[in-house]
A and B are shown apart, each in its own frame.
Chain A
Amino acid sequence: MSAPVLARFSGAVRRTRAIALKEFRHMARDPQVVLLALAMPLVLILVFGYGVSFDVERVPLVVVDRDRTAESRALARAFTAAGTFDLVAVSDDEAAVEPLFRGGHAKVALVIPPDFQRAQGRGDTATAQLLVDGTDNATATIALGYAETIGLTLTQRDLPRGFDVPLRAEVRTLFNPALRSAVFIVPGLIVLVLVIVSVMLTALTVAREYERGSMEQLFATPVGRVELILGKLMPYFVLGLMQVLLVLVVGVYLFEVPLRGSVALIFVSASVFLLAELAFGLVISIVTRSQMVAAQVAAISTFLPALILSDFLFPIDNMPPPLRVVSSLLPPRYLVHALRAIMLRGNGVESVLPDLAAMGAFFIVMMVIATRKFRRTVA
């Protein structure tokens, strides 16, 4: 490198550092921001860790046994034995179900028809009806799954010995044997926390310079667009990594989330994601030039995808194709995927390379847009 190039480079580094230092100072002078940035992950992880649970237990169950035979009682017992369902009422009249559902006292009803034992004795398909309160969609779906398993096991058990067992279901859950929600929520939560705070704050920073009029002064200095952008990214990048650390520590120590893979790889993945999302926040800021609008746009365009399209709460495989496409264009799903692979499965770098590449590509595209859209002019 020749001397002038070197001098120019060191000037660029110095200006970038000056911008970053200034942003750090803004942050330090406004402790509420830092407090928010660090309290938010804590609140979220506590809410999600304790409050949001997909483990369906003690679902209130009403049994309507119109058969009253040994077989029908065996079926009812099978339902109440596991702890998934909590028997709240027994009745011999189907009419009792609706009031219990309406009052919220029961969510699932097992209705055994009068000819249940006879049908089974004949070798016909013995049918029992399961009524599920569909207003609580998540519980209903999971309860149905449990019910199916119970029904299947029961069928197998009652099959006469010596018969060929046509189907043997053996479910063994890997990596999260207890199917605890916290374990798979934490990776998704990291994504959510990062977009809520870091992207939002970044989206505000450039818009703030335009609103305060300081952008006009900045443009009259030799500071370059890339220097300004990188300098502004840095403090929020550091803040984001602190949030990742916080969520990890709380997740591991409070919710016993396993950390099977490399912590360094977790931070590498989170860093690439942060860069991608922060650059996105900057694009929002540069294009809108208004803190109000930037905040709204950031909330809609980063928070919602992180919550809905990231595979965090809703499986991407179940989404209609257009949503799957949108999801694949945005970074959140890649980090959720990578973090689950690293943290829960203990996978190495080779399994998350595609995720890193996707997020890296997003970062580059956003940087190109940011520098292109960022004009050194005021109008």
Chain B
Amino acid sequence: MSDVLTSSPALEARGLVRRFGRTVAVSDLSLSIAPGELYGLVGPDGAGKTTALRLLVGLLTPDGGEARVAGAVSHAAGGALRASLGYMPQQYSLYGDLSIDENLRFFGDLFGLSSTNFRERVAHLLGITQLTRFRDRRADALSGGMYKKLALACALLHRPRALVLDEPTNGVDPVSRRELWELLYTLVDEGLAVLLATPYMDEAARCHRVGLLQGGRLIAEDAPAALVRAFEDLAYFVTAADRDAAEAALHDLPGVRALSPHGPGLRVIVAAADAEAFRRRFASADMRWHLEPTAPDFEDVFLMRSIDAE
């Protein structure tokens, strides 16, 4: 039995389609997440991340295709789905006028936890989220990070097999953000399948596998490192105090595919085939800025894949 369970995906989408009026929010989305895998759905705002997650957790009915959580069809929204799924929406969705304890109690009742099981889970979850001290505090009096941890604890009460998080670090300070990520790694190590949506590239790079979502389509999917390795262009860093002037001058050089401000200068992506010509022109055009090659990162990958897809 357990062999079957571990070998089958915890979360699965096959050809999901969802339209809102004339807009196609999610188009032919297929993905599969194994137990113990941390999958990041990355894309800019409006790419269809939230719609994709809502289709997976059964909050939206697909116009085409099918989503399954631990084998249960999502849009049928049956008991098996609820039992194996933990979901944390992007919005604040707990009750601000209830305390941490009362919120947990409420969700514990809804999930039908026995009282011993409930006590054990609450002790464990409050321990790992370091919220034990604040049990009596109202949820609306918690910081952004603490609130998200509480929401995470509520979503994990019933030991789901799959956890779906919509932009979990939205509005969370850097320290809490790191703590949340450490928590996620712990949970994944315990065999939980985690799907999270994020607009942040640095967060995407921390996932086992990422799917790049653009205009409702999955334009690339792999381990972040593999995507970076497969990157065919070259990345350069141009140190320039007068960034606007540098951008204007560099814009028309051969092979330049993208320019983006970055710290004290510009990040330049150049097509590999034109790299030689680019460097020659940069040297001869009497550019007063300093040019150096740099290692492509995940953000470059995402940027170029997006441009290629358009």
Contacts and interface: CB of A to CB of B under 8 A. Distances in A.
Q: Do A and B bind each other?
A: yes
A222 B82 contact: yes
B82 A14 contact: no
Interface residues of A, number: 26
B230 interface: no
A129 interface: no
Interface stretch (B1-9, B93-101, B179-187): B93-101
Interface size class of B (residues with CB under 8 A): 35 or more
B61 A377 contact: yes
Interface string A365-379: 000000000001111
Interface stretch (B106-114, B141-149, B213-221): B106-114
Contacts of A217: 87-89, 93-94, 151, 154
A213 B89 contact: yes
Contacts of B82: 220-222
Given A18-B106, A221-B110, A376-B77, A214 B95 contact: yes
Contacts of A26: 95, 97-98
Interface in A14-32: 14-15, 17-18, 21-22, 25-26, 29-30
A379 B20 CA distance: 9
Interface in B74-91: 77, 79, 82-83, 85-89, 91
B301 to A, nearest CB: 32
B109 A17 contact: yes
Given A22-B98, A26-B95, A26-B97, A222 B59 contact: no
A68 B139 CA distance: 85
B93 A18 contact: no
10 contacts: A14-B109, A15-B110, A18-B110, A22-B98, A25-B98, A212-B93, A219-B77, A220-B59, A220-B89, A222-B110
Given A220-B85, A220-B86, 11 more contacts: A15-B110, A22-B98, A22-B102, A212-B96, A217-B89, A221-B107, A221-B111, A222-B111, A376-B59, A376-B77, A377-B60
Interface of B: 20, 54, 57-61, 77, 79, 82-83, 85-89, 91-98, 102, 105-107, 109-112, 151, 154-155
Interface of A: 11, 14-15, 17-18, 21-22, 25-26, 29-30, 212-214, 216-223, 376-379
